[in-house]
Amino acid sequence: MLSSLDKARATLQHFGPGLLVSFTIAIAASFLGEHYGAPVMLYALLLGMAFHFLHQDGRCVAGIDLAAKSVLRVAVGLLGAQITLAQIMSYGLWLPLLAVAGVMLTIGFGLVVARSFGLSGHFGLLTGGAVAICGASAALAIASVLPRSDTSERDTVFTVVGVTALSTLAMIIYPMITAWLGWDDTAAGIFLGATIHDVAQVVGAGFSISEGAGQAATFTKLLRVMLLVPVVLGLAVFFRKGNAGETGGAKPPLFLLAFVALVVLNSLGAIPAPALDAMKQISRWFLVGAIAALGMKTSLKALAQVGGRAVGLIVAETVFLAMLAAGALYMLGH
């Protein structure tokens, strides 16, 4: 028993400070949002960025990383309890087709433009996949199956930093664009879910508009996340790297499986109302805490140290995906 208590105490000491500061910022952001009417997620992000120094060194780093990754995944998984299959079916078959088209065309666009910029095709696949699917997670998974080179690690780090930065900007700017275009909450959520790179920023942007937009954005984004498995496995086969050790990143994320399971249970009416309410509150607080942690992990200095052509490539891919999604929504009458 003493050994278990010691392990629990050591774990708390390791992760506790970072988790505490993340949720303290979340409480402050919620207070500001309730009293001044601005999006809570945006407050959490900006306040987190103001405390970036806490993630540079010290006792808070491990907890901040945990909040930005694991806490976020739990929050997204719990969002499944707020969605039913009837809601999903109401979107129609065109939405999965939009997700597939967006991923495939963006990866192809990245490959072609990278070569026209004088960059390697592998770098185009890496950045195109990260933009098209799920940001940093996709970058790491795709990098694990691409042929190794002297610049592999540098390219992967740059891609992670680049897509995270653009996701952060998109989280702030894209909701304004959807409002300017006069889209309803569903169309706005679909656009956000189809275009923003990382899950965290998709959720933050969607729920900053409304709960309905947040749900539409989350579902659309998870359609793109589901495509990570076939894309990474396809690249692994193409580059003749099909062994388990090099394709481990292609396993379905557990939070995605949890999301799907909760959607099914909620559709069957198998989750009691008090449990649904509890999941909704936990998910909300976890999301705000994760966004705060994400802000603390964002380094403006690191973002200023990347190459011009590489930045241009990721920006071009991001704009291409946004225009593709906006054009699809326009053609469908939104």
Better-scored residue on pLDDT, 299 or 85: 85
Average pLDDT over residues 208-215: 86
Amino acid occupying residue 139? A
Q: Are 112 and 299 in contact (CB under 8 A)?
A: no
Instruction: Report the range of poorest mean pLDDT among 53-67, 84-98, 130-144.
Output: 84-98
pLDDT confidence band for 232 (50 / 70 / 90): confident
Q: How confident is the model at residue 245 (pLDDT cuts 50, 70, 90)?
A: very low
Q: Say yes or no to pLDDT of 300 above 70.
A: no
Q: What angle do CA 176, 181, 187 make, to 5 degrees?
A: 90
What pLDDT does residue 191 have? 94
Q: Which residue has the higher pLDDT, 170 or 83?
A: 170
What is the reported pLDDT for 267?
A: 87
Give the count of alpha carbons within 13 A of 105, CB side only.
17
Average pLDDT, the chain: 83
Running DSSP on this structure, what letter comes out for residue 198?
S
Name the residue type at position 203. V
Summarised one tens digit per residue, pLDDT across range 31-71 is 988 887 666 777 887 898 889 889 887 899 999 989 888 88
Give mean pLDDT, residues 228-252: 64
Query: Ranked by mean pLDDT, which of 66-80, 101-115, 204-218, 239-253 comes out on top?
Result: 101-115
**Which tens digits make up the pLDDT trace of 190-210?**
999 999 988 878 888 898 888
- Rounded to an integer, what distance in angstroms lies between the CA atom of residue 47 and that of residue 289? 11
Q: Tell me, what's the pLDDT at 128?
A: 93
Q: Which of 152-161, 227-236, 250-259, 289-298 has the lowest mean pLDDT?
A: 250-259
pLDDT at 321: 94
Query: Residue 248 — pLDDT band, cuts 50, 70, 90?
Result: very low
The DSSP letter of residue 70 is I
Backbone angles phi, psi at 109, to 5 degrees: -60, -45
**Residue in the structure block whose two tokens are 């956000």:** 192
Residue 303 pLDDT: 53
52 contact partners, CB below 8 Å, separation of at least 6:
295, 296, 297, 298, 299, 300
Ranking 108-117, 126-135, 146-155, 176-185 by mean pLDDT, the lowest is: 146-155
Give yes or no for a contact between 255 and 76, defined as CB atoms under 8 angstroms apart. yes
Contact 117, 313 (CB under 8 A): yes
